[in-house]
């Protein structure tokens, strides 16, 4: 297991290195430079600032010095956000994003499993059809549309929850729902399909022959076996929530990373773009490793293979 983990960590670092390299050069291909937008600066002033940030050097030199600094944990200073260091910018904003993301994924996956199981147990009845229709709606309505609808009806009309802002748990409810409905719908569909298969299998019939109740069969036998394929989806979900959160954070004025990321791109704020990209990539790579480990816990057959490999 230890050898396996070491190997995986090595590949993770390699992946991050490649992502950093590709992003760096792609970023330099973007039109504009960080300071051309600010018309009040004279050409001479821009040259001074460029020199100060090392932007006058050839791109490969910039790349080398960025990578060297990054390896030492220095991700540079933002060009736009009051000259703060990127590390500080991210760490002061990551809390809101992480909380929102985690809440949304828990809300989506847990409820999705319940809805999906419920549909599978009542397959080919009106309950199943209803769940299917709701899932398709949940998946196809963009989360920003849902966000605005929630704001209008729940917050403005009914006045149950705050419209926007970030000031306690009540403020997190609407954005969590808006962000979590997509994963919820997809989880429900996935779990339903998996569980219908599992419920038709011989070991479920054997469980019935043991005299177990319907709930007991679903809870003890069907659920775990239907969840294995779902674990694969959690990686992509995390990505979806990260990117999705940019829009949602904007709509609900949540001081998170997503909002900052959008701004940094429109202003060619190179260090911030790099910093946030690296953070997202690191998160994703970590989630993929975690899902592989979780796989083993859910399905003993995979655990064995992992130990041998």
Residue 37 in contact with residue 273, Cβ under 8 Å? no
DSSP assignment of the chain equals -HHHHHHHHHHHHHHHHHHHHHHHHHHHHSSS-TTTT-TTS-HHHHHHHHHHTTTTS-HHHHHHHHHHHHHTT---B-SSSTT-BHHHHHHHHHHHHHHHHHHHHHHHHHHHHHHHHHHHHTTTSHHHHHHHHHHHHHHHS-HHHHHHHHIIIIIIIS--S-SS--SSHHHHHHHHHHHHHHHHHHHHHHHHHHHHHHHTSHHHHHHHHTT--HHHHIIIIIHHHHHHHHHHHHHHHHHHHHHHHHHHHHHTT--SHHHHHHHHHHTT-HHHHHHHHHHHHHHHHHHHHHHHHHHHHH-HHHHHHHHH-
Question: What phi and psi, each to the nearest 5 degrees, are found at residue 162?
Answer: -65, 150
Is the Cβ of residue 51 or residue 224 nearer to another protein in the bound state?
224
Stretch that binds another protein, among 62-70, 266-274, 281-289, 296-304 (CB under 8 A): 296-304
129 touching another protein, by CB under 8 A: no
Q: Is 202 in the site for another protein (CB under 8 A)?
A: yes
Q: Residues touching another protein: how many (CB under 8 A)?
A: 24
Assess 299 for contact with another protein (CB under 8 A): yes
Judged by CB under 8 A, the residue of 170, 213, 232, 307 near another protein is: 213
Each residue 34-73 as x (binds another protein by CB under 8 A) or -, in order, gives ----------------------------------------
Least distance between another protein and beta carbon 161 (Å): 40
Using rule CB under 8 A, residue 191 touches another protein: no
Q: Does 220 bind another protein (CB under 8 A)?
A: yes
Gyration radius (Cα) of the chain, Å: 24
Of 45-53, 196-204, 260-268, 276-284, the segment contacting another protein by CB under 8 A is: 196-204
Indicate which single residue of 134, 155, 164, 212 sits in contact with another protein (rule: CB under 8 A): 212
The maximal CA–CA distance of the chain, rounded, in angstroms, is: 85
Q: Which is nearer to another protein, 191 or 274 (CB)?
A: 191
The stretch near another protein (CB under 8 A) out of 44-52, 199-207, 245-253, 281-289 is 199-207
Distance CA(19)–CA(13), nearest Å, equals 10
Residue from 216, 229, 296, 306 that binds another protein (CB under 8 A)? 216
Asked if 203 touches another protein (CB under 8 A), the answer is: yes
- Least separation in angstroms between residue 210's CB and another protein is 4
CB of residue 298 vs another protein: minimum separation in angstroms? 7
Instruction: Work out whether 289 is an interface residue with another protein (CB under 8 A).
Output: no
Read off φ and ψ for residue 255, nearest 5 degrees: -75, 70
Question: Is 121 an interacting residue with respect to another protein (CB under 8 A)?
Answer: no
* 190: Cα within 13 Å, side-chain hemisphere: 24
Token duo for residue 220: 């003890």
Which of the ranges 24-32, 43-51, 146-154, 213-221 carries the binding residues for another protein, by CB under 8 A? 213-221
Smallest gap from Cβ 4 to another protein, in A, equals 20
- 7 scored as a contact of another protein (CB under 8 A): no
**Region of 102-110, 130-138, 212-220, 240-248 interacting with another protein (CB under 8 A):** 212-220
Residues lying near another protein in the complex (CB under 8 A): 201-203, 205-214, 216, 220-221, 224-225, 228, 298-301, 304
């Amino acid at each position: 297991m230890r050898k396996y983990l070491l190997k995986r960590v090595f590949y993770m670092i390699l992946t991050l290195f490649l992502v950093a390299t590709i992003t760096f050069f792609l970023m330099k291909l973007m039109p504009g430079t960080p300071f051309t937008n600010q018309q009040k600066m004279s050409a001479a002033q821009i040259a001074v600032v460029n020199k100060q940030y090392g932007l006058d050097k050839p791109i490969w030199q910039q790349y080398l010095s960025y990578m060297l600094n990054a390896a030492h944990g220095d991700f540079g200073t933002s060009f736009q956000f009051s000259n703060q260091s990127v590390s500080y910018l991210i760490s002061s904003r990551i809390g809101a994003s992480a909380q929102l993301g985690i809440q949304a994924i828990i809300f989506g996956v847990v409820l999705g499993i319940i809805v999906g199981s419920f549909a599978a147990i009542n397959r080919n009845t009106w309950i199943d059809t209803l769940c299917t229709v709701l899932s398709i709606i949940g998946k196809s309505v963009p989360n920003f549309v849902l966000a605005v609808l929630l704001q209008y009806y729940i917050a403005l009309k009914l006045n149950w929850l705050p419209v926007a802002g970030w000031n306690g748990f009540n403020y997190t409810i609407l954005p969590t729902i808006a962000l979590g409905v997509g994963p919820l719908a997809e989880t429900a569909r996935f779990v339903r399909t998996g569980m219908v298969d599992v419920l038709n299998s011989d070991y479920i019939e054997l469980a019935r022959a043991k005299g177990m109740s319907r709930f007991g069969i679903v809870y003890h036998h069907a659920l775990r076996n239907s969840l294995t394929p779902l674990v694969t989806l959690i990686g992509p979900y995390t990505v979806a929530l990260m990117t999705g959160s940019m829009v949602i954070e904007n709509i609900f004025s949540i001081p998170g990373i997503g909002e900052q990321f959008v701004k940094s791109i429109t202003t060619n704020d190179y260090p911030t773009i790099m910093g946030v990209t690296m953070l997202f990539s690191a998160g994703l790579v970590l989630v993929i490793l975690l899902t592989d480990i979780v796989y083993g816990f859910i399905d003993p057959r995979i655990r064995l293979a992992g130990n041998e490999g």
